[in-house]
Every structure is written in C-alpha cells, then in structure tokens.
Amino acid sequence: MRNLGGTKRRLRKFSWSRGAIYLLLSLFCLSTVAAFAWVFMISLKTTPEFLSTSPWSLPQHPHFENYRVAWQRAKIGTYFFNSILVATVGACGSVMVSALAAYVIARVPFRANGAVGNFFLVGYMVPVMLTIIPLFLMLADLSNRTGLRGFSSGMAPLLALYVATGIPFNTFVLRGFYESLPSQMEEAAAVDGASPMRTFFQIMLPLSWSGLVSTFLINFLSLWNEFFLALLFLTKETATLPLGLFYMAQRAEYTAQWTDLFAGMLITTVPVLILFALLQDQVTKGMTEGAVKG
C-alpha cells in the first residue's frame, strides 16, 4: 500500500507538470492566433473604418480590395518574386558549397582537418553586423578593380553574401551526416572504379538528402525574413519583402494607409507558414539526425 501511494503521488506530480506545460503552450498558441486574427481583421477594413473604430472590432463590410492594392500599387507582388529569387538562389548556393566542404572535412583525412572544421564553427559565431563595413569596402574595391560598376550594390553582391553567410552553419550541420555514413560505401565505389567526385554526387549526396532538405529550408526561411543586408544593398526597384514592408510602413505614417500595410503583412507571412507547416517534420528530422550523428 505504501508503494502504491508513492506511485500515485508521482503520477499526480507528473500530471500537474505536464498540465502546466500544456497550459503555457496553449497560451502561446492563443496569443499567436490572436495576433494573426487581428492583422486579418484590420486588413479587411477601409482606412476611415480603421481610424474610427476599435482595433478589435470586426469589419463592417470586408474590403478584399486591400490585397489587390497591396499586391499591385504597393508593389508587394514585385517584392514577393524578388524574395523568392534571392532566398532560393542563396539557399541553394549555400547548401551546395557547404555540402562539398562538409564532405571533405568529414571524410577526407588531412593534417588540418580539425582546424578547418573549427574555422567554419567560428565563422558561424561571428555576427554579420560586425563584418558589414569591411564587406562593403571589399565589394566596392572589387567593383573598381574589375570594372563591374554597381557590384557594390544590387542583387549580385547580396546573393554572394547570402551564400557566404549560410556556409558556416550548413557545413557544421552536414558534417554530422557525412561522419555517420559507413566508409565501406566509398571503398566499394573505389573498387568499382568511381572517382571521388562521382562517389560524392552519386552515393554520398543522396544519402544525406534529409540534411540537405532541412538546411535548405532553414536557410530559405532565414533569407526570406532577412532585412539588414537587403537594406544596405538593395534599392526600391529590387527590394525584397521585408524591405518592401518597411517602405509601406514609412508611407503609411504619412498617408494613413495602414490597411494596405496589414494586407501586405499577411501576403508576406502566409506562404512561409504554409511551407513550414508542410515540411516541419523534415526540418526536425534533419536537424535531429545531424545533431545526434555529429
């Protein structure tokens, strides 16, 4: 009876702790859903209604015209495709370069193997804001030396920086995948006459597919929301979504077109939420496997 009572007390304590965790998570989810509902309601109001009614009041007549205005007149559509371009190209380029670097560090023995791996890890720890001034000066000098006028600003240097800034993290994650793969695969490929590059692309790269997908998605979501570098290198014509929303917020302060801004915010957020909801299991699986195997 004494052991049974102790078991009941432990179960009761465990249930209370789990209930508290569920309560906190429910409150967090509720606050997030409430924020999206608030943004959605305001995006359906007209400007006079937004200025004269309570922020939490329902729209009297849903005004879906705000989304068309935000997409066309506010150029959210242009910013949207610019973000897709830079996020996709930046994430793909970064993952491919990182896959090559991680494979060499993990599978090719050489004297400075550990030092090179630590070098990538240190690069992941350095904030981008600390390097932006020397990077800008270096790109300006490169532009002058090569005659590529305008290379110090625009899409080209931004894409180069997006690829470079993602390499340390991607290399650190993918290194764990390659270290976990058995060496017998490479030995069998060498016996069959496969070159190291062919072994990498036809055998090792497909086996690390989950890690490649997870790192690509993490990089894509990060670049989709990136603001600081875009602010420094892009103009209004080539702006991405975070920068475009910044311009819309500035304009709304003087024109009071807040409803168009909220419509643009939803257009910016919903595609990323759908992508993450569909592929969150892949992201979690890839990151977990990389962390355990590394």
**CATH assignment at residue 118:** 1.10.3720.10
Query: Total structural domains in the chain?
Result: 2
Residue 195 placed within a domain: yes
Closest to 244 measured CA to CA, from 46, 34, 1, 80: 80
Indicate whether 142 and 241 sit together in one domain: yes
Question: 18: exposed, middle or buried (C-beta count within 10 Å: 0-12, 13-18, 19+)?
Answer: exposed
Indicate whether 28 and 77 sit together in one domain: no
Residue 10 placed within a domain: yes
- Name the CA radius of gyration of the chain, rounded: 25
Indicate whether 23 and 107 sit together in one domain: no
Residue 65 placed within a domain: no
Return per-residue pLDDT of the chain as tens, 294 residues. 455 555 555 555 557 777 888 889 889 889 888 888 888 888 888 888 888 888 788 888 888 888 888 888 888 888 999 999 999 999 999 999 999 988 888 887 777 777 777 787 777 787 877 888 887 788 777 777 665 555 556 788 888 889 988 898 888 888 888 887 777 777 787 777 778 788 888 888 888 888 888 889 889 989 998 998 888 888 888 889 999 999 988 888 888 888 888 988 888 888 888 887 777 776 666 666 655 444
Indicate whether 34 and 85 sit together in one domain: no
Residue 112 placed within a domain: yes
Indicate whether 39 and 84 sit together in one domain: no
The domain in which residue 86 lies consists of: 73-293
What is the 8-class DSSP label of residue 216? H
Residue 238 placed within a domain: yes
Q: How far is CA 105 from the centre of its chain?
A: 25
